Amino acid sequence: MSLFWIGCFVILGLLSISGLIMLLLKLGVIVQKAGEPPHIDHGNYSMDQGREVKAEDQ
């Protein structure tokens, strides 16, 4: 086996390992965010805060 093919396999292996590490980190962040309690909005909203929507605005 030539040195070229060995270098190709080494580079391919490093790329695969780095991709696997990135995937595991992303999955860890997703699991961490999923474990957080949901955000409950306790805002006080009224109709005065909005504006009237007219037919030409839609």
From CA 18, how far away is CA 6, in angstroms rounded? Answer: 18
User: Residues 1-54: pLDDT tens digits?
Assistant: 799 999 999 999 999 999 999 999 999 999 999 999 888 877 776 666 666 667
Q: For residues 9, 12, 14 and 19, what is the CA-based torsion angle, rounded to 10 degrees? A: -160
What's this model's pTM, rounded to 2 decimal places? 0.57
Q: How do the domains of the chain map onto residue ranges?
A: 1-33
Q: What is the DSSP letter of 50?
A: S
